[in-house]
A and B are shown apart, each in its own frame.
Chain A
C-alpha cells in the first residue's frame, strides 16, 4: 500500500518533469507505413532521437530484400540472401513492428486501418510506400506477364526468376530490356543492369547481345555508361532511345515479343521495367496527386495535400533529389529530426541533404553521381556548383576504387537502416 502510494507519487513527479512530447496527451504516437530504406530508417531514428515516442512500423514482409546490389545477383556476383534483412534490429531499437499491411489511412481521424483488422491512431504519420507499377501502361504487360517477362524492379523472387532465365538461355540469345520514362525508382538502375548482364554474358554466353529499348532520350550518368560499354563490352549493348523507336508500347508474353512504335523484337530473355507511380496506399490516403506521386514541402516532407502525413523516399516528389536508397535514408533522418521538434512544439530546422549513388559496370568498375540539396522555392533544389558524376577520364584506379566504395556503402547503409 505504502509502496504503491510512493510509486504513484513517483510517476506523478515523472509526469511533471517529462518533456513536452510526452505530457501533451500521453506518449506522442508516430506510425510509419513501409519498412524499406526510408521507413525503417525513420522508425529507428525516431526512437534514437526521442525514446519517449511510441513508434509503430507497419510492414507486411518479415524480410526486406534490397534493390541496391540486386543487379549483382543477376550477374551471379552475389546471392539473393545477402540482399535480405530482417526487422530484429528495428524491434531492438524499441519500435513496435506490425507485420501486416496498411489498407486505409483516414487523414481526418488520424488513423491507419491494418489488414489484420486493427486500427492505429497517430499524431504524425510517415508514409514510405515505395513504388507500384502502372500495369497496362504497356499493353499486355500485367502481373501474369511479369512471370514470363520479369520486371525485377522489386527485388526478391523476380530477381531470382530473371537470373534463372538468363542462365537457361542459349549462347547467342538476345536479351531485351525495356527502360521506363521518368520519373522512376533508381534512375541509373536499368543501365547498371544492362552493364552487369553484359558482364555476365561476356563470360558465359559471349555470342549473346543485349538490346536496351528506352522510353527516354537521355539517362543518368549516360556518357560514363556509354564510354564504359564501348570499353568493356564492344558491340554487345545496343541502346535505342525514344526518338529512334525505343518506347515499348506492347508486349506478348507468349512469344517474348516487345513492340515499339517502329518495330517488334523477339527476345530470348525479356526484362520489362514498367512505368511507375507511388505505392497504392498513397493514392488511397489522398497524398498522391494526378501524376501518381506525392507532393511534399521540403523541410519535414509533410504532404501538401494532407496535414500530419509525411511522405518520403521513392513515392515522394523531392525536387532535384533522385529516387534512391541513399536519398530515402537521408530524407528519413531529416524527417525524424523534424518530427521530434514538431511533436515538442518546436519549428524544424532547414535541412541540407546529400545523395550519392554508385553504379557498377563490372565487378571492379564503379561510377558515381552525387548531389547536395536544400529547400528553395518550396522544393529540394541542387546547390549550384556541388555534385556531379565521376570524371569521364579515370586516373589512378578510380573505377576500381569506386567499386569498393559501392560495396562499403551498401554495408553501411543496410547496417544503419536495419541495425
Chain B
C-alpha cells in the first residue's frame, strides 16, 4: 500500500517535473480557499488533498456536465478544460492527505 502510494507519487513527479507548491498548476491554489489543505473542524466541504487524481477528474467532469448535482462546483468546473483539470487533480493527489 505504502509502496504503491510512493511509486504513484514518483510517477507524478516525473511527469510534471518538480512538484513544489510554487509550481502548482494554474487554478490549483484557489481551490484551498474552500477545500482545506489541513483538517479543519466543522467543515462540510470535503478535503481533496491526497485524493486519487482520477476521482477528482471524474467529479470535475460530472460537475461540468451537470450529471452530478452541485452548488458552486458545476459553475467552477466549467472554467477548466480537461488538460487543466487533470493537472490540478494530479497536483492535489500528490499533496499529503
Contact = CB atoms under 8 A, between A and B. Distances in A.
Interface of A: 45, 48-50, 326, 329-330, 333-334, 337, 340-341, 349-356, 368, 370-372, 374, 383, 385-388, 390, 396, 398, 401-402, 404-405, 407-409, 411-413, 415-416
Contacts of A383: 78-79
Nearest to B39: A415
Interface residues of B, number: 33
B67 interface: no
A408 B21 contact: no
A388 B30 CA distance: 17
Contacts of B75: 370, 386-388
A326 B33 contact: yes
Interface of B: 20-24, 26-27, 29-38, 40-45, 69, 71-72, 75-80, 84
B71 A401 contact: yes
B80 A352 contact: yes
Nearest to B69: A396
B34 to A, nearest CB: 5
B27 A353 contact: yes
Given A372-B79, A412-B45, A415-B38, A329 B33 contact: yes
**Could you say which of B24, B27, B69, B71 has the most chain A C-beta atoms within 10 Å of its C-beta?**
B71
A294 B35 CA distance: 30
A354 B41 contact: no
Contacts of B37: 416
B80 A372 contact: yes
Nearest to A390: B71
Contacts of A329: 33
A246 to B, nearest CB: 30
Contact of A49 (B22, B36, B69, B79): B22
A371 B84 CA distance: 16
Given A355-B30, A412-B34, A413-B34, 18 more contacts: A49-B22, A330-B30, A330-B33, A337-B22, A353-B30, A354-B79, A370-B72, A372-B27, A372-B79, A386-B77, A396-B69, A401-B71, A405-B72, A407-B42, A409-B34, A411-B40, A412-B32, A416-B32
Given A49-B22, A356-B34, A387-B76, A409 B45 contact: yes
Contacts of B29: 330, 333-334, 337
17 contacts: A330-B29, A330-B33, A333-B29, A334-B29, A349-B26, A352-B27, A352-B30, A352-B84, A355-B30, A370-B76, A371-B79, A372-B76, A402-B71, A404-B44, A405-B71, A408-B43, A411-B40
Q: Which of B32, B38, B72 has the most CB of A within 10 A?
A: B72
A398 B36 contact: no
Nearest to B64: A386
B2 to A, nearest CB: 25
B76 A354 contact: yes
Contacts of A390: 71
A390 B84 CA distance: 24
Contacts of A386: 75-80
B33 to A, nearest CB: 5
Considering the complex of A and B, which 7 residue pairs feature the smallest CB-CB distances, nearest first?
A372-B79, A386-B79, A354-B30, A352-B27, A333-B29, A408-B43, A386-B78
Given A49-B22, A354-B76, A386-B76, A405 B32 contact: no
Given A352-B27, A412-B43, A341 B22 contact: yes
A45 to B, nearest CB: 8
A209 B32 CA distance: 40
Nearest to B81: A383
A53 to B, nearest CB: 11
A352 B26 contact: yes
A49 B32 CA distance: 15
A405 B71 CA distance: 9
Contact of B36 (A337, A353, A385, A412): A412
A408 B45 contact: yes
Contacts of B42: 407-408, 411
Contacts of A337: 21-24, 29
A390 B45 CA distance: 17
Contacts of B72: 356, 368, 370, 405
